Amino acid sequence: MRQPMGCSPEARPCAREPKSQKHRLGVSEAMGVQEVERRSWAVGDLGSMALSGPEVEKQVPAEPRPGRKLQSWWSLVFCLCFYGFMAQMRPGESFITPYLLGPDKNFTQKQVTNEITPVLSYSYLAVLVPIFLLTDYLRYKPVLVLQGLSYVSVWLLLLFGSSVLHMQFMEFFFSITMAARIAYSSYIFSLVPPACYQRMAGYSRASVLLGVFTSSVLGQLLVTMGRVPFSTLNYISLAFLTFSLVLTFFLKRPERSLFFNRGAPASAGASPSELDRMNLGQGQPTGGKLGRLPASWRDSVLAHMLRELRRTARLPQLRLWSLWWVFNSAGYYLIVYYVHILWNVVNPTTDTTRVYNGGADAASTLLGAVASFAAGFVKIRWALWAELIIAVVTVLQAGLVFLMYRTSSIWLCYSAFVLFRGSYQFLVPIATFQIASSLSQELRALVFGVNTFLATVLKTIITLVVSDKRGLGLPVRSQFLVYFVYFLVLFVAYVLAALLTGLRHFRQGHRQPPPPAQELMSPMREPAAQDGPAPEDGVRAVGEQRQQPEAKA
């Protein structure tokens, strides 16, 4: 008979018995995704990638009991996924730039490019860390409410604001919604047993992507076929967002989180988490500057995590993909922030029915989803070929940015952006796996957070120098020329790194395998004789021992 979908006692278990009931934070979204794009929310949602296989394998599902409790568990998951879908229903988002430049608001292109849009980078840098800490301290739900309130504030300012200052406040509230996405990405993992993390990550990711795609298509259909003005489109977006805000009040607030609300083990036999295994307060030797700090600081969770992070930072693949995350994502989001302004320059039409921004956003979202999925089937030795693959993708991105800079055809500009976005999304899950597979869950949250923060700092510096009126204040076409040079420099750096790696491999001999600490398996390689479910993305770090099943009597 076909097994039921849920993790009920009658069904085949999703994994072995869990050693811990502690709720863990799902980090890729940790901060960012990836950070999310302003004009269109791409497949940057990394929540499904944040949890690597070992955590899932080593824990048994705390399976919900049959009956009313199982029904309540699935109801919570459904409500959260439904909220994730509704929060993306913003059909007016793809048309914000032509709305601001059109007769409704009548801002100049210089005001939008050099005074309004740069505020998004500055404010995001300011709220990123506080929102991340508040998400854990307040246990997710209040931050989701804050996100909903910020969305409503954004569209109220869009509809009723009339000055540059109003639009700058609009960008500030938009930055809060971006930073608060970590709450949604983490929340769903506090509702389900560890064995169902992978499935729930897929559900939450699918709900967000479906919302983005549906919103973009709906907006484009209303503009092109329904001839709906941009202002009416923003009223429709405000109605959807008000409904999503109401939904947040019906979400259950979890009792525990990762750092501030850890709670006690659920059972006497539960094993400690990664932070507990660091033996806080046990007088571990501390070196360097940490050794001169007071004992309370040396024995704190953060101090131990920083020491562990310093040790793991020596892994070459961890360094490589973290640097890719910082430098490439900074350039990527700069393109996303300003491409809508470029589209208006390339196609300065007054006929709103001929503005196809929503279609371009929908196509790029779909291609990004396909690229992210396809990345899971790439089977190569990343320790050897990673730099070369990154170099190839980066030079492709540079060429697409140059095409957007030079072309006078809006359709070529749309197509170049769709391909640019898809190429970035292809490497996102690979980078997430390479970083996550060599770290514990808590350290993973810290690494993704640090990477996102550094990328935001770099993006803010570039914005201040290139875009802001207090810097060079370049027009949008000139900015894209600067971004082309930026990606070209990255390409040269990756090619040199690939040559050094190839030379090192040649010297070591083609048959000599790299050390276990440097060789990370491809996202689809699975260990032999696996008797549990496939880990997240079918991988786990090399050298990490797998728990053996109990011997039969």
At 539, phi and psi to the nearest 5? -140, 165
pLDDT of residue 2: 42
d(C-alpha 361, C-alpha 418), whole Å? 8
Lowest mean pLDDT among 152-156, 281-285, 416-420: 281-285
Strands (E), 332-419: none
Tokens 């919900």 correspond to what residue?
64
Q: Which two tokens stand for residue 121?
A: 């980078």
Kindly state the average pLDDT of the residues 27-49.
39
Which domains does the chain possess? 69-255 (1.20.1250.20), 314-509 (1.20.1250.20)
Confidence of residue 11 (pLDDT cuts 50, 70, 90): very low
Structure tokens at 369: 């989803």
Asked if 180 contacts 35 with a C-beta cutoff of 8 angstroms, the reply is no
Q: Which range, 31-35, 256-260, 495-499, 536-540, has the best average confidence (pLDDT)?
A: 495-499
For 462-517, how does the pLDDT look when each residue is reduced to its tens digit (9 = 90+)? 999 999 988 999 999 999 999 999 999 999 999 999 899 888 878 877 555 555 44
Six-digit token string for 400: 């697409």
Give the DSSP letter of residue 521: -
What is the Cα–Cα distance from 329 to 335, expressed in whole angstroms?
10
pLDDT in tens, 116-171: 999 999 999 999 989 988 887 887 889 999 999 999 999 999 999 999 999 999 99
Dist. CA 510–CA 494, nearest whole Å: 22
pLDDT band at 265 (very low <50, low <70, confident <90, very high): very low
Residue 305's pLDDT band, with cuts at 50, 70 and 90, is low
Query: How confident is the model at residue 14, as a pLDDT?
Result: 42
Which amino acid is located at 366 in the chain?
A: L
Q: Which of 76, 131, 7, 81 is nearest to 254 (CA)?
A: 76
pLDDT at residue 439 greater than cutoff 90: no
Any residues with CB less than 8 A from the CB of 204 and at least 6 apart, and which?
45, 47, 48, 80, 81, 84, 184, 185, 188
pTM value surpassing 0.75: no
User: What's the token pair of residue 200?
Assistant: 């729930």
Confidence of residue 339 (pLDDT cuts 50, 70, 90): very high
Name the residue among 363, 345, 360 with its Cα closest to residue 409: 345
* Least confident piece of the model among 35-49, 112-126, 323-337: 35-49
Which residues have CB under 8 Å from 471's CB, separation 6+? Answer: 464, 465
3-state secondary structure of 150: helix
Task: With beta carbons less than 8 A apart as the criterion, state whether 174 and 127 touch.
Answer: no
Share of the chain above pLDDT 90, in %: 41
> Which residue would you say has higher pLDDT here, 94 or 81?
94
Q: What is the CA radius of gyration of the chain?
A: 24
Quote the tokens at residue 6: 């849920």
Question: What is the distance, to the nearest Å, from the Cα of residue 482 to the centroid of all Cα atoms in its chain?
Answer: 25
Q: Answer positive or negative: Cα dihedral of 411, 416, 422, 425.
A: negative
Residue 448's nearest CA partner among 325, 331, 539, 542 is 325
